[in-house]
Amino acid sequence: MTAAMQLFTGDDDILADLKDRGVELAAPMADSQLDALASEYMGEMADCDREVARYTEARDAELRRVAMKYDALMLPHIVRRGRFEQFVKELALRADFGPKKKSRDVGNGTYGRRSKPEHVTILDKDKAVDFARAHFPTAVKEKTTYTVEQKAIQPVVIAYMKAHEGEIPEGFDHAGERDEPFCKVEVD
């Protein structure tokens, strides 16, 4: 048995097709015959690839349609959940959790307030670089353009504000420490 015959042993469809084409694998074949046979089956492979691509495209289109249907079904629940979350956060702002606690466990989760530390936001990079050069030069990192490291300059800006009666340097914004409401739902 030739290597080609061993390759197709058990593949009755290909063996039947070869027989219908009058091809005897055990017989010697010229390279031109092998090339023609290879080309024919490569054409069959291309047909298979086109069918797979067609089915893939159809599957993907169907999945998009199904996803759109489910998105439409989920949207009201997502919106409603957001409204509930906003309401629970408002409740957290009103609740008295005691002198040392900032949250409370309830039947379906935990709600409360978290302390957000004081922080500074850079609004104008150029003015921030000028300020940092004057007050904390190591916070300025030189590249092709200058940038200010947010974490490095933040305590300098806060100290500057304390020393200058709350004046916020140009190029920055400031938000004081505050409690921010939160809720964490526990899902069974």
- The tens place of each residue's pLDDT in the chain, 188 residues long, gives 455 555 556 677 888 888 888 888 778 888 898 888 888 889 988 999 999 999 999 999 999 999 999 999 999 999 999 999 999 999 999 999 988 888 999 999 999 998 888 888 888 888 988 999 899 888 888 775 777 888 888 888 999 999 999 899 988 999 888 888 877 877 77
User: pLDDT value at position 86?
Assistant: 94
**Predicted pLDDT at 12:** 79
Report the alpha-carbon distance of residue 95 to residue 97 in Å, rounded: 6
Question: Residue 111: exposed, middle, or buried by beta-carbon count in 10 A (0-12, 13-18, 19+)?
Answer: buried
Q: Is the dihedral of CA 120, 125, 130, 134 positive or negative?
A: positive
Q: Say what the pLDDT of residue 20 is.
A: 86
